[in-house]
Amino acid sequence: MLLQHFKNVDLALVPAKSFMHIIHIASELAPIAKAGGLADVVYGLCQETLKLKYTTGVILPKYDCIDYKQLSDLKVEQKDIWILAGSNRYNNTIWSANLGKVKIFLIESDHPERLYNRGVIYGCSDDIDRFIYFSCVAMQFLLQLEKQPDILHLHDWHTSLIALLCQKNNCKLKSVLTIHNLAHQGTCSISTLFKLGKDLLKDLDFSDSLNLLETGIIYADCVAIVSPNYQKEIQTPEGGCGLDGVLREYQKKLVSILNGIDQDYWNPTKDPYLKRNYPINELESVLKAKLENKYYLQKHLFLTQENVPLISCITRLVPQKGPDLIEYGMIRTLELGGQFVLRGSVSKSNNHIEEQFASLQEKYRNDNRIAILLINDEKLAHLIFAASDLFIIPSLFEPCGLTQMIAMRYGTIPIARMTGGLVDTVFDIDTSNKPFEKRNGFTFAFADQQGVNWALERAITCYKNHKKWQQIIKAGLNYDSSWKKSTKQYLCIYEELLTLKT
C-alpha cells in the first residue's frame, strides 16, 4: 500500500520525475495573505519545490487585504468561470501574478456577497460559504485548463472539499491533503453546499450535513499530518476532535511530515527588519548582535534598556495557544526580574480573549518592563524573535508549531509545553534523553501554572549560567528546520501517487 511503501523509502534514492506540476489550493500564503503558520508552510514548501525545479503554483481567493505591492505581473488569466449557486449563476475571473518565483492564481468573484472583499482572511460569519465557493471555482478553473497539473495539494478544511469534487466530476487528479489543525473542520448542511456550487455537487449521497475536513480525509489520495507526535495524538479520542475514528479507519493513507521554515525568509544574516544582522555560525557574534537588537527593541517599545532576560510570545490569541498561561507567564516573568513582550493577534470570534488582553494592556500601560501589542506587524515580529532571550509557547495543543523553530533560528531559546509538534522539535536541557548537544529548550508537560512556572524559573536561573545558556542557544542554532527533508518527503508521496493506477 502506498504509504507503507513510503515509510521504507530512502529519500535520497527517490528518482525525480523530470517534470511535475504541483498546484496548492489554500486559504493563506505568506507573506501576502497570512493569518498564521499555514501561510508560512505553503510558501516554504513552494519555494523548496521550485529550487528542485518542479513547477509550482498556488490558487488563492483574491482577498482585498492581499499585500498587492509584493506581486508582479498581475493580470487577468481567465474570464468566464461560471458557477451555478442555488438558482443563480455567478461569474468569476482568475487573475495570475508572480510572488517571487511562485506563480499564483487569484480567484475574484462576482458573487453579490463580496466574499473575499471583507478586509480579512477569516473571521466572517459565512466563512464556510466563502471557502466552499472558493473550492468550487478552483475546481471549475482546473476542469477548464488545457493542461492539468499532476498533483493537487489541499490545505485544511478550507479546500478539502476539492478532493470530493475531483471524484464527483471525474477528474483524475491526485490529491494530497495536509491537515494543519484538526480542531477546525467546517461543518455545513447539504442545502448550503447546493446554494454555493450546485453543478459541481450533483449526485451527492450524503444525508443532511457534511464535515468538510472529514470529506477530505475520506477522498484525498494521501493525508499528511504536520508532525509525527500530532499524528499519534489525533488518532486518540482525547486528541481526535471527533475525527479519531475516521483517521484510524483511513490510517493507511496517513503520513506525518514535520513542517519546516523558509530559512531564506527567516534569516538573521540578512533579515531587513533587524537592527543588527548576525551570522548564525559564530556564537560570539550572535550574542553580541542579539544584545544590540534587544536594546533597540527595548527603546522602540519604551522598555527599560537593560540586560535582563527578555521573554517574548508572538501568537494568535485563541484558546489553543493558552491565553491564561500566557498571562501567567507574563506576570511571573516580571516577578522573576525579566521583561516580557507579547505580540498577539486577536480576532472577532474570541471577544473575551481580546477583552482580557486589552485590559492587561491598560493595566501595564506605564510599566516599562512589559509591552503588550495587539496589532498585526510582521516586521516587528522579526525584530522580536531576534531581540528576545526566551520565547514562550504554552499551547494546549499544537499540531506542529513554527514559532519555536523561528525562535531557535534567531538564537532565542523556546519554552514549550510538550504537545503535538513541540514534542518533536524542542528538547529539554535538563530532562530530555537526547544527546546533550541537541537539547535546545525548556519544556513542561501539563498546561497549567505549575508547569509554566517550573520551566520559566529554570530558564531564568539558567540565564546567569553562561556556559549552559550558550550550549542551549547553540543546539537551537544547529537544529535543522529547513524544508529540505520534508519537501523530499512530499515529493516522494507525489511521485508514488502518480505511479498508482486510479
Nearer to ligand ADP, 259 or 298 (CB): 259
Residues belonging to the chain: 502
| Cβ distance to ligand ADP smaller for residue 220 or 318 | 318
Single residue of 192, 345, 356, 432 touching ligand ADP by CB under 6 A:
345
Question: Minimal distance in Å, beta carbon 132 to ligand ADP?
Answer: 22
DSSP E strands, 13-130: 21-25, 55-61, 72-85, 88-99, 102-109
Query: Which residue in the shown chain puts its C-beta closest to ligand ADP?
Result: 37
Which stretch in 101-109, 281-289, 342-350, 454-462 sits in contact with ligand ADP by CB under 6 A?
A: 342-350
Using the rule CB under 6 A, is 344 a contact of ligand ADP?
A: yes
Is 229 near ligand ADP (CB under 6 A)?
no
Rounded to whole angstroms, the Cα distance separating 138 from 91 reads 13
Three-class secondary structure of residue 9 per DSSP: coil
Helix-helix angle 156-168:127-144, to 10 degrees: 40
- Pick from 430, 454, 453, 428: nearest CA to 442: 428
Contact 133, 115 (CB under 8 A): yes
Residues 349-378 within binding reach of ligand ADP (CB under 6 A): 376, 378
Could you say whether residue 155 binds ligand ADP (CB under 6 A)?
no
- Residue 120 binds to ligand ADP (criterion: CB under 6 A): no
Within positions 388 to 447, which residues make up the interface with ligand ADP, using CB under 6 A? 401-403
Cell numbers placing 457:
524559573
Cβ-contact 95, 106 below 8 angstroms = yes
Could you say which of 29, 36, 142, 423 contacts ligand ADP (CB under 6 A)? 36
**Nearer of residues 160 and 471 to ligand ADP, judged by Cβ:** 160
Residue choice 28, 40, 214, 389 for contact with ligand ADP (CB under 6 A)? 40
Is residue 37 near ligand ADP by the rule CB under 6 A? yes
Using the rule CB under 6 A, is 67 a contact of ligand ADP?
Answer: no
User: Is 149 among the residues that bind ligand ADP (CB under 6 A)?
Assistant: no
Q: Measured from the CB atom, is 338 or 401 closer to ligand ADP?
A: 401
Q: Binding to ligand ADP by residue 335, rule CB under 6 A? A: no
Q: For the chain, first and last CA: distance in Å?
A: 13
Asked whether position 235 contacts ligand ADP by CB under 6 A, the answer is: no
> CB of residue 347 vs ligand ADP: minimum separation in angstroms?
10
Pairing relationship of beta strands 187-189 and 209-211 according to DSSP bridges: antiparallel
Cβ pair 411, 477 in contact under 8 A: yes
Query: Which of the 8 DSSP states describes residue 115?
Result: T
d(CA 272, CA 277) in angstroms, rounded, equals 8
Query: Distance between alpha carbon 57 and the CA centroid of its chain, in Å?
Result: 18
Binding mask 305-324 vs ligand ADP (x if CB under 6 A, - otherwise)? ---------xxx--------
Task: Give the C-alpha separation, 292 to 36, whole Å.
Answer: 28
By CB under 6 A, name the binding residues for ligand ADP. 36-38, 40, 314-316, 343-345, 376, 378, 381, 401-403
